[in-house]
Amino acid sequence: MKLQTIPHTPYNDLTMAGRPPLKEAPHFGQQLTMFRKSKGLTQADLAQQLHTTQKMIDYYERRAINPSVNFVRRAAEVLGFSVDELLGHSPKVMRGRPGPPSKLELYLEQLRHLPRKDQKFVTQFLDTYLEKAVRL
C-alpha cells in the first residue's frame, strides 16, 4: 500500500490564520499588511506592540473598511510610517515657497533651455561677478 503525500499549502500559522479570504481586503488592510511585513512582523508581533490581539490585527487587515483614527495613528507610529503612508496617500511635497516664482527662478528656467555653450557663458559670467561682489 502506497502512502499519499499531502500537497504543500502556502498557508501556515505565521502567514495566515483561518481560511483564505473570499474577497479582497480593503485598501487600508492591504497597506497595513504590506507595512507590517516590510518590518518583518507577524500579526501576533504587531498585536503585542499595539496592546491588542492577533484577531484584531486580522480584522483590520482583512475586513475593516473604516478603521478608527486612534488605531491608524498607533499603527503608523509603531510601524514607523506616517498616517498618510499607511492610508495610501502620498504626502504633498512643496517645492520652494508658495506663490508665483521669483524673477530669479524664471531666469534659471530660461537658462535651462539654452544650449550648453550659452549656459557655460552665463555661469562663467556669474562666477566672475559673484567672486568680485564677495570681495567688496
Same domain for 39 and 16 = yes
CB 41 within 8 A of CB 33: no
- Give me the number of domains the chain comprises: 2
Same domain for 87 and 119 = no
Same domain for 131 and 83 = no
Q: pLDDT, tens digit, for every residue of 49-104?
A: 999 999 999 999 999 888 999 999 999 999 988 898 888 876 555 555 666 778 88
pTM, two decimal places: 0.52
**Dihedral over Cα of 26, 78, 72, 19: its sign:** positive
Higher pLDDT, 31 or 15: 31
**Dihedral over Cα of 50, 48, 91, 112: its sign:** positive
- Determine the structural domain holding residue 7 and report its residue range: 1-91
Same domain for 113 and 86 = no
Per-residue pLDDT for 4 more than 70?
Answer: no
